DNA sequence: GCTTGACTCTGGAGTGACTACGGGGTGTGA
DNA sequence: TCACACCCCGTAGTCACTCCAGAGTCAAGC
């Protein structure tokens, strides 16, 4: 059976960019594969399984450092798994906190968007007025209920953005 | 009136780290301030207002590039504000998409966590079993309803993590 | 006058998880 | 022989900060 794959095939099989695969290798998440005579990486099914595991964890937003720890548990099933519990708990807590602030965010933006329906001049734009007023600390529709970011809410002095995942 | 602030005072007034202020200056979001004879930055109330505006936008998870555009609208109120609408709409769409996937994520993790209650050995850990099975593409409790990351959901081949904001 | 400590300056590097690029080598079908 | 797709490697860029080293400034206390 020809279970040996080159990097492009592995990537296609797992739905992962080849640059990402090389990145995982470089950072020690994927073991160095064998090489064909021409120097091409030669992967087997074990690599595919491991890569799929990593991507599943990443889909769960588990940081690579934690994925690494989980992989160690997979490799050493005799270890105590209390750490796994704690790891997942911590991840769940992170996600829930983030979720809460995202929901607040959504309410704020939805409220903001309602301010400006028709095309006109920026000087009259309700959105812009609202943003400026909010920055001044005046009462604004989107800060009705002590939302994160109002000035120093419990969540973060440090908001964070990702570029749109599309 | 002594409305002139040094960077530390501005930071304290706006609740922003001074490194962040310098970063905003370097990237052109905040104009270069005047300097005292000793070379220290000297800020006025306009800087504080602008900084507060930026932070409010960032609390709404608006990327700095978009904040820059909003600031241009603030500076030129005679411009057409249709772009503001679109900008906020796009931001709202981003946030809603992200929210949806976060909710799915939360369900997945919560379901995962339920698999392993008592401390034992990793080889028997339900969480680990579930993760491995899911990576294999087998039916798993957390993928009941076509969630992102299952293999190539509409959302992203590219999950993304932030370190916990605490 | 000297020290201490808090504050400021600059430039540069590090973070996480990729993503992109440049310049080359390899393999295959026409 | 050629085009073209694939692969190699190393490096740099992305975003929004965050941290650091090494140096200068300034007021208060001794």
Residue A150 placed within a domain? no
What is the residue range of A131's domain? 82-143
ipTM above 0.85, yes or no: no
Average pLDDT of the residues in B108-131: 72
Q: Which two tokens stand for residue B7?
A: 């960077």
Which chain A residue shows the shortest CA-CA distance from B116?
Answer: A85
A34: helix, strand or coil? strand
Q: Does A64 contact strand C, using a CB cutoff of 7 Å? A: yes
Q: Give the residue from A58, A111, A105, A110 showing the smallest Cα distance to B135.
A: A58
| B139/A contact by beta carbon, under 8 A | no
Task: Mark yes or no for CB contact B60/A160 under 8 Å.
Answer: no
Average pLDDT of the residues in B78-99: 81
pLDDT above 70 covers what percent of chain A? 75
- State the Cα–Cα distance between residues B98 and A53, nearest whole angstrom: 22
**Contact criterion met (CB below 8 Å) for B140 and B149:** no
Same domain, A88 and A135: yes
Round to the nearest angstrom and report the end-to-end CA distance of chain B.
Answer: 38
pLDDT at site B101: 75
pLDDT above 90 covers what percent of chain A? 33
């679109």: which residue's tokens?
A: B86
**Contact criterion met (CB below 8 Å) for A70 and B128:** yes
**b/e sequence B130-145, b meaning 16+ C-beta within 10 Å:** bbbebbeeeebebbee
Smallest CA–CA separation between A130 and chain B, in Å? 10
The domain total for chain B is 2
Same domain, B52 and B14: yes
**Which of B60, B75, B90 marks a domain boundary?**
B75
Average pLDDT of the residues in A77-97: 80
Same domain, A92 and A46: no
Residues B30-76 have pLDDT tens digits of 999 999 999 999 999 999 999 999 998 888 788 999 899 888 888 87
Same domain, B12 and B56: yes
Same domain, B97 and B52: no
Q: Does A91 contact strand C, using a CB cutoff of 7 Å? A: no
Task: Mark yes or no for CB contact B53/A132 under 8 Å.
Answer: yes
pLDDT at site B124: 67
> Is the pLDDT score of B17 beyond 60?
yes
Same domain, B47 and B91: no
| φ, ψ of residue A151 in degrees (nearest 5) | -145, -50
What CATH number is associated with residue B44? 1.10.1660.10
Q: Does A89 contact strand C, using a CB cutoff of 7 Å? A: no
Same domain, A108 and A139: yes
Residue B1 placed within a domain? no
Average pLDDT of the residues in B114-119: 66
pLDDT at site B117: 60
Q: What is the mean pLDDT of chain B?
A: 76
Under 8 Å CB-to-CB from B44, ≥6 apart: which residues? B3, B4, B5, B33
| B71/A contact by beta carbon, under 8 A | no
């990097």: which residue's tokens?
A: A7
Residue A88 placed within a domain? yes
Residues in chain A closer than 8 A to B159 (CB atoms): 55, 58-61
| B6/A contact by beta carbon, under 8 A | no
Residue A166 placed within a domain? no
DSSP per-residue codes, chain B: ----B-HHHHHHHHT--HHHHHHHHHTTSSPPPEE-TTS-EEB-HHHHHHHHHHHHHHHTT--HHHHHHHHHHHH-TTSB-HHHHHHHHHHHHHHHHHHHHHHHHHHHHHHHHTT--S--BGGG-HHHHHHHHHHTT---GGGTT--TTSSS-SS-S---------
pLDDT at site A87: 82
> Is the pLDDT score of B136 beyond 60?
yes
Nucleotides of C under 7 A from a protein CB: 7-10, 15-21, 26-27
> Is the pLDDT score of B163 beyond 50?
no
Spanning CA of A20 to C1' of C1, the rounded length in angstroms is 63
Which chain B residue shows the shortest CA-CA distance from A165?
Answer: B156
More confident residue, A49 or A153: A49
pLDDT at site B151: 29
Same domain, B59 and B95: no
Same domain, A89 and A135: yes
């709409």: which residue's tokens?
A: B89
**Contact criterion met (CB below 8 Å) for B83 and B73:** yes
The segment with the largest mean pLDDT, out of A47-51, A57-61, A116-120, B86-90, is A47-51
Q: Does B41 contact strand C, using a CB cutoff of 7 Å? A: yes
Which chain A residue shows the shortest CA-CA distance from B131?
Answer: A53
Residue A164 placed within a domain? no
Same domain, B52 and B109: no
* Number of neighbouring beta carbons within 10 Å of residue A60: 26
Average pLDDT of the residues in B104-122: 73
pLDDT above 70 covers what percent of chain B? 74
Residue B166 placed within a domain? no
Residue A53 placed within a domain? yes
Same domain, B63 and B26: yes
Same domain, B87 and B137: yes
> Is the pLDDT score of B119 beyond 70?
no
> Is the pLDDT score of B110 beyond 90?
no
Query: Residue A166: pLDDT band by 50, 70, 90 thresholds?
Result: very low
Residue B153 placed within a domain? no
pLDDT at site B111: 79
**Contact criterion met (CB below 8 Å) for A92 and B105:** no
Spanning CA of B94 to C1' of D5, the rounded length in angstroms is 35
Nucleotides of D under 7 A from a protein CB: 6-9, 14-20, 25-26
């Amino acid at each position: 059976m020809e279970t040996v794959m080159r990097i492009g095939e592995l990537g296609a099989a797992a739905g992962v960019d080849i640059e990402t695969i090389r990145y995982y290798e470089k950072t020690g998440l994927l073991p160095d594969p064998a090489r064909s005579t021409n120097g091409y990486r030669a992967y087997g099914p074990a690599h595919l399984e491991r890569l799929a595991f990593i991507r599943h964890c990443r889909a769960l937003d588990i940081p690579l450092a934690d994925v690494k720890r989980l992989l160690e548990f997979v490799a050493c099933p005799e270890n105590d798994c209390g750490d796994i519990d704690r790891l997942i708990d911590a991840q769940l807590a992170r996600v829930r906190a983030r979720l809460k602030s995202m929901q607040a965010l959504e309410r704020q933006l939805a409220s903001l968007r309602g301010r400006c329906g028709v095309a006109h001049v920026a000087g009259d734009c309700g959105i812009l007025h609202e943003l400026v007023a909010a920055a001044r600390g005046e009462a604004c529709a989107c800060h009705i209920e002590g939302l994160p970011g109002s000035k120093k809410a419990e969540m973060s002095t440090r908001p964070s953005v990702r570029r749109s995942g599309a």
